[in-house]
Amino acid sequence: MANKSEVAEVDALAQSYKDLKNEIGKVIVGQHDVVQGVIISLFSNGHSLLVGVPGLAKTLLVSTIAEVLDLEFKRIQFTPDLMPSDITGSEILGEDRHFKFNEGPLFANIVLADEINRTPPKTQAALLEAMQERSVTVSGVRHPLPAPFFVLATQNPIEQEGTYPLPEAQLDRFMFNIPLDYPSYAEEIAVVKGTTTTQNYDLKHILTG
């Protein structure tokens, strides 16, 4: 039987989940299932793949979650010419004639890998290795990534030309494959009202750090 402290921890987690959804709901209209899936994957120390066409506020969703959780957020736009060193970092020669490691954009708490299927398999593999090991290896030296570390990748399900589909084995690195649909008519009206005003959202930090 669970003791009182364990019950209290579960209750506190449930309350934090509700508070987090409420804060995100101040900015994100609708997409309740998407928000729920992303939060569950974050709480479970996993990663998620968001599948949807452009313009469904994927970047806004991820940046809002990072702000509410008071975590560092970085966005990587994946392109056909993106190299592994562009995301992991590389060694540069300093003024003292010694090599110094220059961190790439993977060194953040929450990383948005935008259109992951537009970059070659070699760069995809570098990202997926970082997701699994929570570290990157450059010139034989292992560099731990900051904790916590979450990757939220996006993929456009319509455009297939010039893309590099993720193999099933690599898709298994993601805890959830979350589809994003277009908002309803009422939600679109709410989005228009929210984006045509100068309202500033005062977001509270939940589970900071």
Which domains, ranges and CATH numbers included, belong to the chain? 13-195 (3.40.50.300)
- Percent of the chain at pLDDT > 90 equals 18
- What's the confidence (pLDDT) of residue 29? 73
- Distance (Å, whole) CA 138 – CA 142: 7
Return the bridge partners of 152, or none: 48, 112
- Distance (Å, whole) CA 101 – CA 95: 13
- What's the confidence (pLDDT) of residue 182? 75
Residue 2 has pLDDT above 60, yes or no: no
Compute CA 104 distance to the chain's CA centroid, rounded to the nearest angstrom.
16
- Residue-wise pLDDT for 88-98, tens only, equals 988 887 777 78
- What's the confidence (pLDDT) of residue 150? 92
Inter-residue contact 151 to 196 (CB < 8 Å): no
Inter-residue contact 47 to 150 (CB < 8 Å): yes
Side chain identity, residue 174: F
Output the DSSP codes for 40-58.
Answer: HHHHTT--EEEE--TTS-H
- What's the confidence (pLDDT) of residue 109? 92
Distances (CA, A) of 124 to 13, 73, 83, 105, 128: 33, 19, 9, 14, 6
Instruction: Give the least confident one: 13-27, 58-72, 141-155.
Output: 13-27
- What's the confidence (pLDDT) of residue 199? 58
Residue 194 has pLDDT above 70, yes or no: no
Q: Beta strands of the chain (E only): which ranges?
A: 48-51, 73-77, 89-93, 99-103, 110-114, 135-138, 141-144, 150-155, 176-179
Residue 173 has pLDDT above 80, yes or no: yes
Q: Choose the most confident range, by mean pLDDT, from 8-12, 81-85, 139-143.
A: 81-85
Q: How much is the pTM?
A: 0.80
- What's the confidence (pLDDT) of residue 169? 78
